[in-house]
Chains A and B, each alone.
Chain A
Amino acid sequence: MSENAATEARPRTAPRKVETRSSRRMRDVAKVSFHLHLWFGVISTVLLLIIAITGILLNHKRPLGLMPDIDNEPSGAFEEALPLAELVARASAAVPAEAAAAGVDRMDVRPGDGLVKIRFDDRLVTEATVDLNSGTVLHVGERNDVFLEKLHSGEIFGDNWILLSDLAAVLLVIVLISGYWLWLYPKARA
């Protein structure tokens, strides 16, 4: 009789787990991680998409033909190379008038290949490759990779827009860390 009464008096539900301070903290961190992962993931989607695609294109810029790849052997000693002004004049004569009018942005001298790449400051980023010694124009074309680099960094929209690229990178790091946390402690959020 007394044994039966004792059995009935016992609670039928499973004993509640006592929540410790550390498990509560784990649950809070998991909740915050979930929301960070969701919100920052959605906000950074477009930016990361553009950064990822431009990054892949830049990695394969030569095979994709986004920048010219000129094979050239030096036609003379580097000491006998034509003056820079002469090389620019020859390049300017070879490129479209719009590019020549925009002026030279930079010159990339390659003594080992016996050539200089002269990049113009126009919208299409025209580049002329000129032999250092003979002054022969080896190639004229667009440098599409320069545009993609600027798009990759956000610089194409303006100087301050590189901050948007920084923001995307920071968001990606947070998304990765929060995703890792949710993977390690999936039950903590429950």
Chain B
Amino acid sequence: MMGERVALLIGLIVIPVLLLMAGHRFRDRTPRQRSLFWGALLGHTTGLLLTVTLTMLPPIWWHGGPMWRDFLVHFSMLIGTVAGTALAMARRAQ
């Protein structure tokens, strides 16, 4: 329970702050850093949309319902960011 709340807070506040910091003086960043930034940003945005959708559809409390919904509500933004960064890294390595 505590872990999922922490993951949600990281997705809600910590990741946007880190992305803002990474986006500061964006023109001075190397192509690799820019690519990782875009990967993380797109991943987080996808996770964000998933979180917002799953919190309200269906409009019933997720706790006690399907496990996957409970999990995705809390972890989507975190997983999205990590997956987006990893994808960008893999694409860069090719």
Contact = CB atoms under 8 A, between A and B. Distances in A.
A130 B19 CA distance: 53
Given A49-B52, A144-B59, A151-B55, A43 B16 contact: yes
B48 interface: yes
A54 B52 CA distance: 10
Contacts of B11: 46
Contact of A45 (B5, B16, B58, B59): B16
Given A47-B12, A50-B55, A147 B60 contact: yes
Chain A contact residues: helix, strand, loop or mixed: helix
Interface in B3-30: 5, 8, 11-13, 16-17, 19-20
Given A38-B20, A46-B51, A123 B56 contact: no
26 contacts: A38-B20, A39-B20, A42-B16, A42-B19, A42-B20, A43-B17, A45-B16, A45-B48, A46-B11, A46-B52, A47-B12, A49-B48, A50-B52, A54-B56, A57-B56, A123-B60, A123-B61, A123-B63, A124-B60, A125-B60, A142-B60, A144-B58, A144-B60, A145-B59, A147-B61, A157-B8
Q: Which 5 A-B pairs have the closest CB atoms?
A: A144-B59, A123-B64, A42-B16, A147-B59, A46-B12
